Structure 1
Amino acid sequence: MEILKKKSGAGFTLTPKNFGVTLRSKGGFTLVELLIAMFAFGMIIIAISGVSQSVIKAQRKAFALQEVQESGRYLLEAISKEVRMSTINTPEITSTDTLNITNSKDETVIYNFDGVNGKIKKQIDGGIWENISPTNLDLTGSFYIRKSSAPTPKALVTINMKIESPGLRVEQTANIYLQSSISSRNWDY
């Protein structure tokens, strides 16, 4: 007695040996293979987006740091240029937030670290105080004045500054510490 093979439209074959259902080998993916491929693809996409986000944050931090550094160097150069060619009127002191000088135009110039507002201010001949630091930066600092008398009188001014860039996000904040020592070229301090 021989049982005939029956084919169903769903890809199953009934055979006389096992009277069960067997799957035929067909090209394609199983559900498990598809899930594994989707999981691997998802992990790769997450890793790539994480790396790109880190690069963007690092770039923002670098821009903020560059802005702080450029502003700080400009301030130091501007003050240094004027101090170099001036007479130092402030007495020798270890630390002060005010520097009083007489510049080459015979004007009395006062520099002041305004700790309340976080700015450096400048006053010429008793006029109005002018903000010389950028509005988007906070500055704190002090002046150190050292005067020597032997063999020739010289004054040395050291400027210490901490410049901060308050940003809305952590990657947009930056702070830097700067110090510069300027020797007055004017022999009578």
Structure 2
Amino acid sequence: MKLLMFNNLKNLKDFFGISKFHCLASRDPAKPEKLGIGNWKLRKTRPGFTLVELMITFTIFGILTGVITGVLLNVFRSHLFVFNSLNSQANLRFLLETMTREIKEGNNLSFNQGTKTISFTNKDGQDVAYYLENSAISRRENGEILPITSQDLIVEKFDVSGCWQSSTCQPSVTVFFKVRPKTNPQNSSFYLQTTITQRRAGT
């Protein structure tokens, strides 16, 4: 077997027909190169996420989700409270307007403190009564009962004071309400009061 001898690196390249050959012995230690032949070089792989990084990411995401959910729930509850409050006030205004109109035009005004009932005769000669029962205000006319306050309202107090028909003064009445919505997260109550004077005295 004939032993091939190569005097220099150029003869080695010519023998193998390699135009570009990186020799480990020829590399400069001060300038490290990537291993490879010709223009083909090894690529560095991109680093992935570690388990700790994933856990931190999911923890931050969970905290943000909880904070956003809490804010949205508070906004929804506040909106519901305002909506119920406006409905309650509208319902009470309707009740007061109805009572005021009928009492002003009626006569024979009286109030039973024990049953929380205000009674009078309206302009059509019908016996009318407003009273508190089961945390609601109802209207009774000749035996026919009609609930006046909304089912979403709780009437905590209904009181009346004033000058009655038997007095020498002109009949008048002061009506006081304490109510709150059933769906009230803050458990807040509303206080309403109005004074009604009859236009004419009864006979």
Which TM-score band applies after superposition, normalised by the shorter structure? 0.5 to 0.7
Q: Report the equivalent of 1:81.
A: 101
Higher relative contact order (CA closer than 8 Å, sequence separation 6+): 1
Over 3 Å counting, the alpha-carbon distance change for 1:77 and 1:95 in structure 2 is: farther
Contact 1:60 1:171 in 2 (8 A): no
Identity over the aligned pairs, expressed in percent?
A: 24
Q: Report the equivalent of 1:122.
A: 139
Over 3 Å counting, the alpha-carbon distance change for 1:122 and 1:36 in structure 2 is: closer
Aligned-residue offset at 1:82: 0.8
Give SS of 2:171's match.
Answer: strand
Q: Report the equivalent of 1:55.
A: 75
Q: Report the equivalent of 1:16.
A: none
Q: Which whole-Å CA distance do the structure 2 matches of 1:76 and 1:141 have between them? A: 12
Are residues 1:185 and 2:199 paired? yes
Give SS of 1:89's match.
Answer: strand
Question: Larger % of strand: which?
Answer: 1
Q: Which whole-Å CA distance do the structure 2 matches of 1:88 and 1:178 have between them? A: 24
The CA RMSD over aligned residues, in Å, is 3.4
Q: Quick one: which amino acid aligns to residue 58 of structure 1?
A: S
Aligned-residue offset at 1:174: 5.8
- In the alignment, structure 1 segments of 5+ residues that lack a partner are 5-24
Are residues 1:143 and 2:160 paired? yes
Aligned residues: 159
- In the alignment, structure 2 segments of 5+ residues that lack a partner are 1-23, 26-43
Return the index of the structure with the highest Cα Rg: 2
Contact 1:137 1:164 in 2 (8 A): yes
Q: TM-score, normalised by structure 1?
A: 0.66
Q: TM-score, normalised by structure 2?
A: 0.62
